Structure 1
Amino acid sequence: MKTLKKIILLLIFSGSVVQLSAQKASWIWYPGDFDIYMSNVMQNRRTERGSFFPVFWKMDSHYVLVDFHKEFNLSQPEEVKLFVEGTYNVKIDGQAISGFPKSIQIPAGKHKLSLKVYNQAHVPSIFVQGKTIVSDETWLSTFEDKEWIDASGKTSDKSGTTFVSAGSWNLNDPNQLPSQFKLPVIAQSAVKTEKINNGLLSDFGKETFGFIKVHGLKGKGRLSIYYGESKEEALSIDKCETLDNLDIDLQQKKDSIMPLSKAFRYVNFQPGNGVSADSVSMLYEYAPVTERGSFKSSDAELNKIYDVAKYTFHLNTREFFIDGIKRDRWVWSGDAYQSYLMNYYSFFDAPTVKRTLLAQRGKDPVTAHINTIMDYSFYWFLGIYDYYKFTGDQKFVQDIYPRMQSLMTYIDGRKNKNGLLEWMPGDWIFIDWADKLSKDGEVSFEQLLYARSLETMALCAKLANDTNGAAQYDQQAKALKAKIFELYWNQQKRALVHSRIDDKQTDNVTRYANMFGIFFDYFSPEQKLAVKENVLLNDKVAKITTPYMRFYELEALCAMGEQPYVLKEMKNYWGGMLKLGATSFWEEYNPDKKGTEHLEMYGRPFGKSLCHAWGASPIYLLGKYYLGVQPVTAGYQTYTIEPNLGGLAWMEGKVPTANGDISVYCSKKEIRVSSATGTGKLRFKSKSKPVIKNAEVKEISKGLFELTIEKGRDYEVRYTN
């Protein structure tokens, strides 16, 4: 380790200054390795009342020895600076350079630059900076180069090595090692402080996240800090979920920052005998994403719902998309899948989507479902194709496709005699937090997600140029879909039943498979109407109380044109949390609960997360189903805009894309649209022929009109609602 540290210090503090050129360099590593490493760091920060609380699943690690190379054709010689995290060697055209050079000269002509890096503690990484030679994702890497040497001493790399594109987070400061990566912080103060016992109770005004800073700390003894998303939690020194207990021995006053970031609104600061402090503040920790999406309407309550949803989502956007900021802070696949969709209508931060997908998947061999949850493996597949659809990034699909294949092979190997999936030892069938929700037998919801994942595999196989795989997965998907309707559709109940046990349908009908079947477009028009009436709008079918599944239930209703109904539901459900004082949206909300019952979960008085990513779904619903913007072909090359006021007098907003924003304003008499990307189709209903300047509108069916939207133009439509 001393040698490794010496090498790093020599490279970084050698006095050399990298002259940045027009070509931008970045730290690179074996793809997925830094994502896995950082997710391990983040997820193992979880504590419960001061105790370490590790994850439930297998954690992978980085490859400790990685080879990087790239070929260049230089018109003139070039000096290249080298920064490396690890012990390394350097080769030009297969010839090793002695020592640990921090700068090399590469002659004019065609050459191959190679670096091989070993690092057991951190991810082997390199930063290469020349005038034209720079490290980026065009470099190739391998963890197993399979080189051999012939009798002349020449090294060969033509022995079956698999090279893949390097990974990167766009960390472009050569003096900032990847292992030192941290999110930025901003100093903030409490909005109100009151004396409690020997200490202080500080209210920071709303749900937040960061490091508590104690000012003027002095003395010898115990310092205790109790955190609370609610005042009740912070005051409950025996039952609050998170706390800090530190032994202090300071002769002089000193400002001290707590070692771990926490979620809180209230902080109960209690110094023991012999310890004193002047005040507490915080360092707010955040992901530096850009808020690009927007929504505003004639309904003030809905506007607040949108703003709080966006704040909730930002808090849960960190190195990765996490579930909630107080308790787990883990990369749960089901939670993250919803975050991807919200992200496409708010930040449009593609790198965080990729990082999260890579971190969740880990490495081969596959020994369990992602997060050990069957449904969460399926959400992972769905997230990959959605990423391609919104971004157009085919290369990422091609890079991750082998990991998709190995996970699907694992899943295919766990089918029962009927070719269906059911619980096996080591599996967790989650679906939703719901009382008395059976997970026994062959659950229809799991089969539906399985079929959709096979369809996703077929689509991604085509993108990865795997023709045989595409045909195989497509055939599997079609066979499974047919089997689902043969085995689960109940003509009397006019819906899919929840499960089969001992090869027989159960009587139970739940919302889950039925609502997914609607927006998966698996039902016939007649079946959709039957499911809407008999399941989604039927109060006799068990209601959903988590924002997690309300997300999908309301999406299914929006997909069937029920925006007026969904608007009322959003105002009742998310508005209900706001009426109870929520400053971010919760993991679960049941309007039948009273008082501190809203804080309870998992058998603990403050177990519930009051800032949960899956609570932010109005972002997605309002962008996709009210502003009505969604891609048709990858990366918004083509897209549709189908505004639906849903009872609003007017609304306006922006939907971000990889190449700029799509802006929409809609009232009962006017629609205004502009776009920075692709070619769109604006579709809207009008009782009379609409008036549009300098553009042609087509009536595609009675009362339904369509206008082609070209990028860079502003469109104004006057119509009759």
Structure 2
Amino acid sequence: MKNMLIKTCPLILLLFTLCQQLPAQSAATWIWYPGDFEIWLSNNMQNRRTERGTFFPVFWKYDSHYPLIDFHRNFILSAPEEVKIYAEGIYNVKLDGKPLEGAPKQITVPAGQHRINVKVFNQASVPAIYVSGKTIVSDTSWLVTFEDKEWIDETGKTSDVSATKWLNAGRWYFNTPDALPSACKLPVTVQHAISVTKNSNSTLMDFGRETFGFIRLHGLQGTGNIALYYGESKEEALSEKAAETLDRLSFHHQQKADSIMPLSKAFRYVNMVTSGDIKVDSVSMLYEHAGLKERGSFRCSDEEVNRIYDVSKYTFGLNTREFFIDGIKRDRWVWSGDAYQSYLMNYYLYFDSPTVARTMLALRGKDPVTSHINTIMDYTFYWFLGIYDYYLYTGDQSFIRQFYPRMQTMMEYCLGRRNKDGLMEGLPGDWIFIDWADGLSKTGAVSFEQLLLCRSLETMGLCADIVGEKGDADRYHQYAAVLKKQLFDLYWNDQQQALVHSRVNGKQTANVTRYANMFAIFYDYFTQQQKESVKHAVLLNDSIQRITTPYMRFYELEALCAMGEQSYVLKEMKDYWGGMLKLGATSFWEEYNPAKHGVEHFAMYGRPFGKSLCHAWGASPLYLLGKYYLGVKPTSPGYATYTVQPALGGLKWIEGKVPTPQGDIAVYCSTEEIKVTTVDGTGLLRFRSKTKPVCKTGSISAKGDNWYEMTMQPATSYVVAYQSLKEEQHGKRK
């Protein structure tokens, strides 16, 4: 994360009339009320979860799409135009306010200035339209509303609808009339097991590594039952009583037939057990994936690190679906804390902003707010932080402009749940998660929650500035300033040189944990002296409870990288993620504790195979290696300005690409040479050298203490000859 909030001037929102005069895109697409398709799709996706064949719904409130939507746009035509209209639902069409007979599939729009309205009702799925003419096409410049406030008086005059709130339409990739949004499916690819072991009535199939998709039975014939037991490990697949997911089916096929399982599953192994005279010629799978293109890359002189990066990519790809989900075996839900880390990894691998926006919309839902997102206090704050980073990395203000009201009502809900001291403290119905850690106290006002709220308030101030709500911006910035002062007045302990974990009954507890302390480092809330004190008193102190989930290791290692401890972090990465690889992991896990042995590694939640062995938060090396080793990060929205500060961390060389909205920044760094190829925007290369560096195409400035900087122009390649300093081994645990 950026060490200081983005500075931006308040922007005046464009009038809707100006929005309507934007030129149409070259091709039509299906459009809908923004956020509705995302909510509808997430409802469907998250309700696919089963445990041993039993439907397992989410724990939180579901919202739904608006069933009646009005779409409209103004056009100026130089000649008459034939326009085709498609809709998902019952619909009517108006031309210049006059209803056309029936539900026309094609209309003629005369030359001149005109307005087309299409009103669609659909209770089962999202009301959507596809409009296609020579110049008149449905796109995001169309305006939509769920209540047009229109009425007609006794004279036949239409009412004033100026109070109607119109938003720009939403869209995804449905770009042909027959690509119906309600039929949304991810692409699949046929794959086969790498080994098959048959016994009398069972067949164990190994697909080689963790995967996700639909099992397909070929040449099925006979009468009897088939049970499919899925396993991320061989032990799970062979455990008919404890496997987390399964399919049980009965068949009566006189002629050979194929059968595809109704729900996709996560597995490496599948154990097929048959009864009766059932015969199956063969088994394959349909691998289901999002089909996104990898843009980021990383390679280095250490093959184990390269393997960690590759498995991180694969893990993240499996959990990148219609939305960013937590894990592919068990939940397959959209959890805000998990998704927030996925956003950051995405910026360094795919840079697919639509998946980020879809996920944030699905998580937020609609008003009224009745609970925290996923019922978890910290997950609500991660939602706000995701918006901050979305703007920083993409420069896209449209999400903020469209959905600021939903941000505001979510924040007002949070502010309304503070205690008498103005602090967040768990109320009935609130789940304070923080991390999976034995004995972690959630009692009282926890410092970690105050820190996340403070950052969320700063984000709200930024967003209010963008939409021109100066009063809101001033209020949120003031709230953030007060809370930041309280954070240090109430939680900093001089004796322990750290923020304490909580306050109970108005008093500090003696407990110090890593969470608030490491976040305050990369939020730049600490002074440099406090950072150094916290690094040694907390992050490198084994007497402070250790972190065993990749979820919080993500932030712990980020804090250390932000303090220049890349050599230490590389060793930790090799021990932790490399430790999973040594145990045979083909994707990274929900939790890893080196002290466990054998099948103990698979247990969680009181179940022998409850742990997810493919969890999105396990892929954090994607982010760490891109941001803190290749050293690329935006310093203003959309990479208008950015820094490149490579860090070898003890490696002989590193190379890779970091995606941006304008293209990919390429970086190579060895102990003697740095190469950077830039994209649009102004870059700043920062590095240390024990000799005076040389670059034929750039001007290098000395900054003291062996630090050098060079401004980099757009679309230019630079080669810098330098001599890296011997890296000090700072990271030593107490």
Residue by residue, what CA displacement relative to the aligned partner does 1:673-695 show, whole Å, maximum 9, x if unpaired?
00222110011111121111132
Note if contact 2:43-2:62 (Cα within 8 Å) is conserved in structure 1.
yes
Note if contact 2:83-2:133 (Cα within 8 Å) is conserved in structure 1.
yes
Q: Which residue of 1 aligns with 2:10?
A: none
Separation (CA, whole Å) in 2 of partners of 1:675 and 1:719: 19
Note if contact 2:324-2:342 (Cα within 8 Å) is conserved in structure 1.
yes
Q: Which residue of 2 aligns with 1:680?
A: 683
Select the residue among 416, 420, 430 that pairs with 1:417: 420
Residue-pair matches, total: 701
Measured after TM superposition, the shift of residue 170 of structure 1 is: 2.8
Select the residue among 493, 496, 501 that pairs with 1:498: 501
Is 1:99 the counterpart of 2:111? The answer is no
Which one-letter code corresponds to 1:385 in the other structure?
Y
Q: Which residue of 2 aligns with 1:671?
A: 674
Measured after TM superposition, the shift of residue 397 of structure 1 is: 1.2
Higher relative contact order, structure no. (Cα contacts within 8 Å, ≥ 6 residues apart): 2
Note if contact 2:677-2:716 (Cα within 8 Å) is conserved in structure 1.
yes
Separation (CA, whole Å) in 1 of partners of 2:395 and 2:698: 28
Measured after TM superposition, the shift of residue 402 of structure 1 is: 0.7
Q: What is the root-mean-square deviation in Å for CA atoms of aligned residues?
A: 1.0
Q: Which residue of 2 aligns with 1:16?
A: none
Select the residue among 495, 500, 508 that pairs with 2:511: 508
Which one-letter code corresponds to 1:570 in the other structure?
M
Measured after TM superposition, the shift of residue 223 of structure 1 is: 1.1
Separation (CA, whole Å) in 2 of partners of 1:629 and 1:174: 41
Is 1:597 the counterpart of 2:597? The answer is no
Separation (CA, whole Å) in 2 of partners of 1:47 and 1:273: 26
Q: Which residue of 1 aligns with 2:192?
A: 189
Identify the range of structure 1 (526-535 vs 74-83) with the bigger mean alpha-carbon deviation: 74-83
Note if contact 1:649-1:668 (Cα within 8 Å) is conserved in structure 2.
yes
Secondary structure of 2:525's match?
A: coil
Secondary structure of 2:419's match?
A: coil
Which one-letter code corresponds to 2:182 in the other structure?
S
Measured after TM superposition, the shift of residue 196 of structure 1 is: 3.4
Separation (CA, whole Å) in 1 of partners of 2:157 and 2:100: 14
Q: Which residue of 2 aligns with 1:236?
A: 239
Measured after TM superposition, the shift of residue 384 of structure 1 is: 0.5
Note if contact 1:23-1:131 (Cα within 8 Å) is conserved in structure 2.
no
Q: Which residue of 2 aligns with 1:468?
A: 471
Note if contact 2:243-2:609 (Cα within 8 Å) is conserved in structure 1.
yes
Q: Which residue of 2 aligns with 1:442?
A: 445
Describe the shift of the 1:386–1:22 C-alpha distance in structure 2 as closer, same or farther (beyond 3 A): closer
Note if contact 1:145-1:157 (Cα within 8 Å) is conserved in structure 2.
no
Secondary structure of 1:67's match?
A: strand
Select the residue among 134, 147, 150 that pairs with 1:144: 147
Q: Which residue of 2 aligns with 1:606?
A: 609
Identify the range of structure 1 (554-563 vs 390-399) with the bigger mean alpha-carbon deviation: 390-399
Which one-letter code corresponds to 1:604 in the other structure?
R
Q: Which residue of 2 aligns with 1:524?
A: 527
Secondary structure of 2:440's match?
A: coil
Q: Which residue of 2 aligns with 1:641?
A: 644
Secondary structure of 1:187's match?
A: strand
Secondary structure of 1:149's match?
A: coil
Q: Which residue of 2 aligns with 1:207?
A: 210
Select the residue among 330, 333, 336 that pairs with 1:333: 336
Separation (CA, whole Å) in 1 of partners of 2:479 and 2:539: 29
Secondary structure of 1:353's match?
A: helix
Which one-letter code corresponds to 2:274 in the other structure?
P
Note if contact 2:25-2:137 (Cα within 8 Å) is conserved in structure 1.
no
Separation (CA, whole Å) in 2 of partners of 1:471 and 1:593: 51
Measured after TM superposition, the shift of residue 245 of structure 1 is: 0.5
Note if contact 1:326-1:611 (Cα within 8 Å) is conserved in structure 2.
yes
Select the residue among 64, 67, 71 that pairs with 1:64: 67
Q: Identity, % of aligned pairs?
A: 67
Which one-letter code corresponds to 1:715 in the other structure?
Y
Select the residue among 179, 195, 203 that pairs with 1:176: 179
Q: Which residue of 2 aligns with 1:163?
A: 166
Secondary structure of 2:349's match?
A: coil
Which one-letter code corresponds to 1:98 in the other structure?
E
Residue by residue, what CA displacement relative to the aligned partner does 1:551-583 show, whole Å, maximum 9, x if unpaired?
000000000000000000000000000000000
Which one-letter code corresponds to 1:305 in the other structure?
I
Select the residue among 36, 54, 57 that pairs with 2:57: 54
Separation (CA, whole Å) in 2 of partners of 1:677 and 1:373: 40
Separation (CA, whole Å) in 1 of partners of 2:394 and 2:493: 39
Separation (CA, whole Å) in 1 of partners of 2:410 and 2:546: 33
Separation (CA, whole Å) in 2 of partners of 1:155 and 1:297: 68
Is 1:353 the counterpart of 2:356? The answer is yes
Identify the range of structure 1 (155-164 vs 561-570) with the bigger mean alpha-carbon deviation: 155-164
Residue by residue, what CA displacement relative to the aligned partner does 1:675-716 show, whole Å, maximum 9, x if unpaired?
222110011111121111132111133421111111221100
Measured after TM superposition, the shift of residue 418 of structure 1 is: 1.1
Is 1:265 the counterpart of 2:268? The answer is yes
Q: How does 1:271-290 map to 2 (within 5 A)?
A: 271-290=274-293
Residue by residue, what CA displacement relative to the aligned partner does 1:301-323 show, whole Å, maximum 9, x if unpaired?
00000000000000000000000
Runs of 4+ aligned structure 1 residues displaced above 2 Å come to 150-159
Describe the shift of the 1:401–1:197 C-alpha distance in structure 2 as closer, same or farther (beyond 3 A): farther
Which one-letter code corresponds to 2:242 in the other structure?
K
Separation (CA, whole Å) in 1 of partners of 2:490 and 2:25: 61
Separation (CA, whole Å) in 2 of partners of 1:52 and 1:275: 27
Note if contact 2:323-2:334 (Cα within 8 Å) is conserved in structure 1.
yes
Secondary structure of 2:387's match?
A: helix
Select the residue among 426, 433, 458 that pairs with 2:461: 458
Q: Which residue of 1 aligns with 2:15?
A: none
Identify the range of structure 1 (552-561 vs 704-713) with the bigger mean alpha-carbon deviation: 704-713
Which one-letter code corresponds to 1:655 in the other structure?
V
Separation (CA, whole Å) in 1 of partners of 2:543 and 2:160: 67
Note if contact 1:296-1:303 (Cα within 8 Å) is conserved in structure 2.
yes
Note if contact 1:639-1:679 (Cα within 8 Å) is conserved in structure 2.
yes
Is 1:580 the counterpart of 2:583? The answer is yes
Q: Which residue of 1 aligns with 2:573?
A: 570
Select the residue among 19, 23, 26 that pairs with 1:23: 26
Secondary structure of 1:672's match?
A: strand
Separation (CA, whole Å) in 1 of partners of 2:695 and 2:526: 37
Note if contact 1:219-1:249 (Cα within 8 Å) is conserved in structure 2.
yes
Separation (CA, whole Å) in 1 of partners of 2:680 and 2:404: 28
Which one-letter code corresponds to 2:341 in the other structure?
Q
Measured after TM superposition, the shift of residue 449 of structure 1 is: 0.4
Measured after TM superposition, the shift of residue 197 of structure 1 is: 4.0
Measured after TM superposition, the shift of residue 37 of structure 1 is: 0.3
Measured after TM superposition, the shift of residue 275 of structure 1 is: 1.5
Measured after TM superposition, the shift of residue 78 of structure 1 is: 1.1
Q: Which residue of 2 aligns with 1:691?
A: 694
Residue by residue, what CA displacement relative to the aligned partner does 1:358-394 show, whole Å, maximum 9, x if unpaired?
0000000000000000000000000001001000101
Q: Which residue of 1 aligns with 2:631?
A: 628
Select the residue among 301, 312, 332 that pairs with 1:309: 312
Q: Which residue of 1 aligns with 2:662?
A: 659
Select the residue among 357, 362, 366 that pairs with 2:365: 362
Note if contact 1:511-1:541 (Cα within 8 Å) is conserved in structure 2.
yes
Q: Which residue of 1 aligns with 2:21?
A: none
Select the residue among 209, 216, 240 that pairs with 2:219: 216
Separation (CA, whole Å) in 2 of partners of 1:670 and 1:461: 44
Note if contact 1:147-1:159 (Cα within 8 Å) is conserved in structure 2.
no
Measured after TM superposition, the shift of residue 159 of structure 1 is: 4.3
Measured after TM superposition, the shift of residue 74 of structure 1 is: 1.0
Measured after TM superposition, the shift of residue 176 of structure 1 is: 1.7
Measured after TM superposition, the shift of residue 446 of structure 1 is: 0.5
- In structure 1, the gaps of 5 or more residues are 1-20
Secondary structure of 1:193's match?
A: strand
Separation (CA, whole Å) in 2 of partners of 1:556 and 1:646: 15
Separation (CA, whole Å) in 2 of partners of 1:543 and 1:183: 39
Note if contact 1:393-1:635 (Cα within 8 Å) is conserved in structure 2.
yes
Note if contact 2:549-2:592 (Cα within 8 Å) is conserved in structure 1.
yes
Separation (CA, whole Å) in 1 of partners of 2:461 and 2:678: 32
Residue by residue, what CA displacement relative to the aligned partner does 1:641-672 show, whole Å, maximum 9, x if unpaired?
00000100000000001110000000000000
